[in-house]
Amino acid sequence: MSASMEAQVRRDLFDQMVLIRTYEEAVLREYHADKKPAFDIGAGLIPGEMHLSAGQEPVAAGVCAHLTTDDAVTATHRPHHFAIAHGVDLQAMTAEIFGRVDGLGKGRGGHMHLFDPATHFSCSGIIAEGYPPAAGQALAFKRRGTDRVAVAVTGEGAANQGAFHETLNLAALWKLPVVFIVEDNDWGISVPRSASTSVADNAARAASYGMPGVRVEDNAVEAVYAAAGEAVERARNGGGPSLIEVHTLRLWGHFEGDAQGYRADLEGVPGKDPIPTYEAVLLEQGVIDDAAVAASRKNASEVVEAAIAFAKASAEPDPATVLDHVFA
């Protein structure tokens, strides 16, 4: 498949993954910068829980390559990769993560609550509860006669939550234009999928709803791209929802500060990083060269650092405004 894929698409996938990783590394740096020597979750320029998506770039890059900002994406507590790949304004997003007035939510939301009407992006910190609203966005798109689609993301741990089941049934029943993504990174915090999920494969659960389900192995970005292409196309053409599970990788801890003492597979993890792997393939196949890699990184770095600088320069919210925005 990769042979037949347009080189530009492959370069874009790579650039997207690099951008995401660069972003997560920068957030990681800023998050920990002023939490030393003793880690304090509530301290520093970026406080609160921080769930980073390093290792899961192939999912967001492969899926969002098929979307425009007219399409909707609802992400999870681990939302950055999808927000970036879907084109959420990086500066406003970063300002939100820093809790500033120029943030997407004027500092009210934070890293698990990023809402961007311009790109129909949202997320939720509650497991699987982003699925039902995504079905509703799809319903709105369908009622209006558009070919827009909604993408809903969740983890493999979340696939055992009731909302998952209810939404898949509803979307299939009403033939809604949704693509359901399950990011299987093998872990739900400290619980391995074998201790949470009675079957090996969530894609197989799609059959329970009469919708197509595929599982993409090996965190393979181009396979994600292909599967998502089909599913998005189906949704746009009135063919209803699909489920795609991607076997991906949690490169870092569940959240920052997670020592991962429970994780037996820890040693092998760095070797599975999808970015160097993909880079090597593209280099070998001559799709990119070293200069392109360097340019990709440099561009990503500039964009990301600009966003961080923007966030830092933005004002903190005025405590006197604490009661604002409860009601419209």
Partner 1 sequence: MTTTTEQPTRRLNTAKAMVEAIAAEMERDENVFVLGEDVGAYGGIFSSTTGLLDRFGPDRVLDTPISETGFIGAAIGAATEGLRPIVELMFVDFFGVCMDQIYNHMAKIHFESGGNVTVPMVLMTAVGGGYSDGAQHSQCLWGTFAHLPGMKVVVPSNPADAAGLMTAAIRDDNPVVFMFHKGIQGLPWMAKNRRSVGPVPTGDHVVEIGKAATPRPGSDVTVVTLSLSVHHALDVAEELAGDGIDAEVIDLRSIVPMDTEAIIESVTRTGHLVIVDEDYQSFGLSGEIAARIAEHDPTILKAPISRVAVPDVPIPYARPLEYAALPTPARIKAAILQQTGR
Ligand X SMILES: Cc1ncc(C[n+]2csc(CCOP(=O)(O)OP(=O)(O)O)c2C)c(N)n1
Helix/strand/coil for 255:
coil
Instruction: List CB contacts of 223: < 8 A, sequence separation 6 or more.
Output: 1, 62, 216, 217
Stretch that binds a second copy, among 28-36, 113-121, 206-214, 292-300 (CB under 8 A): 206-214
Torsion of CA 119, 16, 167, 105, to 10 degrees: -40
CB-wise, 11 or 165, nearer to partner 1? Answer: 165
66 binds ligand X (CB under 6 A): no
Q: How far is the CB of 290 from partner 1 (least distance, A)?
A: 41
Binding at 185: pick from a second copy, ligand X, partner 1, none (beta carbon under 5-8 Å per type):
ligand X
Which of residues 188, 212, 253, 274 is near ligand X by CB under 6 A?
188
- Residue 194 to residue 141: CA distance in whole angstroms: 37
253 binds Mg ion (CB under 5 A): no
Helix/strand/coil for 161:
coil
2 binds a second copy (CB under 8 A): no
Which of residues 91, 94, 119, 185 is near ligand X by CB under 6 A?
185
Which of residues 172, 181, 227, 308 is near a second copy by CB under 8 A?
172
Q: How many CB atoms lie within 10 A of CB 35?
A: 18
Which of residues 15, 129, 183, 279 is near partner 1 by CB under 8 A?
129
Q: How far is the CB of 141 from ligand X (least distance, A)?
A: 26
Q: How many CB atoms lie within 10 A of CB 298?
A: 12
125 binds ligand X (CB under 6 A): yes
C-beta of residue 268 within 8 angstroms of C-beta of residue 246 = no
Q: Which residues pair with 181 in a beta bridge?
A: 153, 244
- Residue 20 to residue 9: CA distance in whole angstroms: 16
Binding at 173: pick from a second copy, Mg ion, ligand X, none (beta carbon under 5-8 Å per type):
a second copy
Residue in the shown chain whose Cβ atom is closest to Mg ion: 155
- Residue 267 to residue 206: CA distance in whole angstroms: 33
The interface mask with partner 1, positions 13-52, x = CB under 8 A, is --------------------------xxxxx---xxx---
